[in-house]
Amino acid sequence: MAEEKQRSLLLDSASRFPLPHGARFSYGTAGFRSEGSILASTVYRAGVLAALRSLKTGSAIGLMITASHNPVSDNGVKIADPDGGMMVQRWEPFADALANAPDSEHLLHLVVRFVEEENIPFGGVQSAEVLLGRDTRPSGEALLEAAKHGINAIIGAVAIDMGVLTTPQLHWMVRSRNKGMVASESDYLAQVSKSFRCLMDLVPRERIADSLDTELVVDGANGVGGDKLEQLKKMVTGLDISVKNTGKKGEGMLNESCGADYVQKEKVVPSGFGPDYVGVRCASLDGDADRLVYFLIPSASSKNIDLIDGDKILSLFAVFIKEQLDVLYKGSDSNNKPPVRLGIVQTAYANGASTAYLKRLGLEVVFTPTGVKYLHKKAAEYDIGIYFEANGHGTVLFSENFLSGLECWSNELASASSVGSEQHKAALRLLAVSQLINQAVGDALSGLLLVEAVLQYMGWSIKRWNELYQDLPSRQLKVKVADRNAVVTANAETQVVKPSGLQEFIDAESGKHPHGRCFIRPSGTEDIIRVYAEASTQEAADSLARSIVQLVDRVLGSGNSHQ
């Protein structure tokens, strides 16, 4: 009886959200994304999916309505798993099938078959909980209602609207709720600000007098992050934060000529930043505040910027964490110390100069295929894992075993009259970092505060930070091909397995240029082969990229290679 009621409810509800004619949706790293006006059926079905995921896991699930750094007319939806991370890949084919079911009858058939295969309790025998968030896009409110309808179409499922949020805030809330912790937006802001204050209190006194300028100007991309940073800055001291492009009336459109994606790709001054900010430390968030980059405007006449990207943010965090571990583990009394393995995780797109710098520090650097889901999973294998993409998305992960051991050791140091010792301070700094950084997902707000705390600790200006290493010039191109699956790669996409002989040619061409490095990889969504090349000069990087593009076009292409 209960199952019949469930089927009837799902059929009736789904019929109100028909699939747009000719539309096709695919769940990728960013979830579903498209023009906001045609997404109601997709978001409704994502609501159904999230409710089923909650029933399957017995945990709270997150559903975020955002299109991140896309134009304001776009929108999207993605699911956060119980750990606050991305939805498990194994469910993506079902997500695709559900989003593209042509009518309510097909949708019901898909759901019934899937719940049987996955042994999901269906028909009200178990409760489910979905936390909802959305960014500031005009289409978000109507799509939120569609999501609620989808969640409510599953008996026993409850939709909890957490309000207008950054994407990382929602992920943090899901993770916290499932760990039995308080998980509202005010709890997030309180934890982040408290751990930042702790880190600032632990800045050595001798460095405070000579510390860098506290002025920081942040480009909020006219998105949700600007407003949240305005709230957060009232709760922290020691920083003079000005927020530009907050999304207020008259400041511009979401992600238009501003935001981390624009700044990182175009390497130009974002809108709202004029000659007054020459030499000032500047940062840029993306539309939903999960990416962060820094930049410096070198002169009043310059349209270009000195970019400090995700690779340099990773390097800054690595230097700081390595220093704390070195202090913590110095001496011979290591019996009671928790074992620690620090790992740096990058993709092939990381600038070769950053990888060389990290290896010179004696750090373990490993590579994964492109995509946050691969980076995050690999970083979680370490006691402390740091990952960042050049686009500014990344975080620091601490294992539960390491944190519990560190906390015990910190308490031992305190009880042994070692309070105030360098070892005790190092332990407290690492514990504070674990509370400040968002361990569920990349988070521009918590990442920004950690950057600021570390720069204060090191006594570094943005110029000094930028001089850690000199980026190798690079070039990215793409080639339109008949079938992207003709290219098969291995070793974290750094080597071509098929077609045979292609990798040998790439190696030979790369060897013609000092510091030459090149790799190709198929796009995940379209019949395009992406080409990345770097070398000691921009001319050499361009030449290397063009020669590989011509080869790929000759072997696989359509004669239509392009940037």
- How many residues in the chain? 563
Pair of tokens at residue 318: 């690595």
Instruction: Say whether 407 counts as a known binding-site residue.
Output: no
54, 68, 434, 543: the active-site residue: 68
533 to 350, 392, 507, 508, 514: CA distances (angstroms): 11, 20, 11, 13, 12
210 is in an annotated binding site: no
Active site residue 68: yes
Q: Quote the longest CA-to-CA distance of the chain.
A: 73
Element (H, E) at 188: helix 185-201
Joined tokens for residue 179: 């760990």
Q: Is residue 214 a contact partner of residue 240, using CB atoms and an 8 Å limit?
A: yes
Q: Is the omega angle on the peptide bond into residue 499 within 30 degrees of 0, that is, cis?
A: yes
Interatomic CA distance for residues 225 and 232, integer angstroms: 10
d(CA 100, CA 131): 24
Joined tokens for residue 404: 């519990």
Dig out the tokens for 539 from the structure.
């001319």
Residue 390 counted as an annotated binding residue: yes
The reply to whether 522 sits in an annotated binding site is: yes
**Residue 359 CB coordination number (10 Å):** 12
Question: Is residue 45 a known part of a binding site?
Answer: no
Do the annotations mark residue 443 as ligand-binding? Answer: no
Over its C-alpha atoms, the chain yields an Rg (Å, rounded) of 24
For 467, what's the count of Cα atoms within 13 Å in the CB-facing half-sphere? Answer: 5
Any known ligand binding at 59? no
Strand ranges (E), 446-527: 474-481, 488-490, 495-498, 517-522
CA of residue 500 relative to chain centroid, distance: 34
Q: Which residues participate in the annotated binding site?
A: 68, 286, 288, 290, 389-391, 521-525, 530
Q: Which residues participate in the annotated binding site for substrate?
A: 389-391, 521-525, 530
Q: Which residues participate in the annotated binding site for Mg(2+)?
A: 68, 286, 288, 290
Just list the catalytic residues. Answer: 68
